[in-house]
Amino acid sequence: MDVTVTQSKVEGRARAPPSKSYTHRAILAAGYADGALIRQPLSSADTRATMRAVEQFGGSVTQDDDTIEVDGFDGRPAVPADVIDCANSGTTMRLTTATAALADGTTVLTGDSSLRSRPHGPLLDAIAQLGGTARSTRDNGQAPLVIDGPISGGPVEIPGDVSSQFITALLMAGAVTANGIDLTVTTELKSTPYVDVTLDVLDEFGVTARPRSHGYSVAGGQYYEPTDGEYTVPGDFSSASYLLAAGAVAGDEEVVVTGAFPNPQGDTAIVSILEAMGAAVEWNEADGVVRVRGSTLTGTTVDVGDTPDLLPTIAVLGAVAEGTTRIENCEHVRYKETDRVSAMAEALTTLGAVVDEQQDVLTVHGGESDLEGARVGGRGDHRIVMALAIAGLVADGATTISDAEHVDVSFPDFFDVLYDLGATVEN
Helices (H), 84-186: 90-100, 121-129, 165-174
Residues contributing to the annotated binding site for phosphoenolpyruvate: 20, 90, 118, 165, 340, 383
Q: How far apart are CA 134 and CA 155, in angstroms?
A: 17
| DSSP letters for 231-293 | EEPPB-HHHHHHHHHHHHHHEEEEEEEES----S-GGGHHHHHHHHTT-EEEEETTTTEEEEE
Buried b (16+ CB within 10 A) or exposed e, 16-50: bbbbbbbbbbbbbbbbbbbbbbbebbbbbbbbbbb
Helices 165-174 and 20-32: crossing angle, nearest 10°?
Answer: 20
Characterize the bridge pairing of strands 35-39 and 230-232: parallel
What is the chain's length? 427
Q: How far apart are CA 301 and CA 231, in angstroms?
A: 37
Helices (H), 277-339: 311-320
Residues contributing to the annotated binding site for 3-phosphoshikimate: 20-21, 25, 163-165, 191, 309, 336
3-state secondary structure of 318: helix
Q: How large is the C-alpha radius of gyration of the chain?
A: 21
Catalytic residue among 236, 309, 381, 403, which?
309
Q: How far apart are CA 151 and CA 181, in angstroms?
A: 10
For the question of residue 309 being annotated catalytic, the response is yes
Residues contributing to the annotated binding site: 20-21, 25, 90, 118, 163-165, 191, 309, 336, 340, 383
Q: Which of the residues are catalytic?
A: 309
